Chains A and B, each alone.
Chain A
Amino acid sequence: DTGVSQDPRHKITKRGQNVTFRCDPISEHNRLYWYRQTLGQGPEFLTYFQNEAQLEKSRLLSDRFSAERPKGSFSTLEIQRTEQGDSAMYLCASDPRGLFFGEGSRLTVL
């Protein structure tokens, strides 16, 4: 048990719908990251928070994606108007001294 929890673990949605994922990091970790992993690939960095501040966003994070961490604790990742290409595992992680990942939220867009 890494201590990073994600919800839901699986989400199936129809194209065009909005989805939201939640991440609760290890409590003493102030840095939180979102990654995306498609089948057969390693995870790819999406965005990063230090406390409530979103400090960096990848080019992978299109305008349909938004991430928040309002109180510097849990974070949400919302995808609006989902597309089939959004189907992936969305991973949350926190550090220090090595990223500790949650179990992921698998999204399937039909």
Chain B
Amino acid sequence: GQQLNQSPQSMFIQEGEDVSMNCTSSSIFNTWLWYKQDPGEGPVLLIALYKAGELTSNGRLTAQFGITRKDSFLNISASIPSDVGIYFCAGLQGNAGGTSYGKLTFGQGTILTVHP
């Protein structure tokens, strides 16, 4: 099925460093979501973006909805060991509240490792 291109596939960083990851698509998405998943658990919603150009923060996390609607990025500042996990971007082609709202397309994930 359709996939989002998420990069990098993995990152190994030192505690305290900033992290940046992004997601691109050949198709337009009207909503972008970023999730974090720990092993054996379900994805946890970090940030949701609903408008092109929107920049949203959640603590040390900042995400942006690209102007072209074909990309999004996530930044994590001052990483800490508990940031370890897999980060997924997800896009929705429909509109929030529409009938297919939850039919998300996910990227393949970025595996983040933080060394103390």
Contacts and interface: CB of A to CB of B under 8 A. Distances in A.
B108 A42 contact: yes
A43 B23 CA distance: 15
Interface residues of B, number: 27
Is chain B's interface secondary structure helix, strand, loop, or mixed overall? loop
Contacts, number: 74
B96 interface: yes
Contact of B43 (A50, A56, A60, A101): A101
A32 to B, nearest CB: 8
A71 B83 CA distance: 39
B65 interface: no
B102 interface: yes
A58 B1 CA distance: 10
Interface of A: 2, 4, 6, 31, 33, 40-45, 48, 50, 55-56, 58, 60, 89, 91, 93, 95-104, 106
Interface of B: 1, 3-4, 33, 35, 40-45, 48, 88, 90, 96-97, 99-109
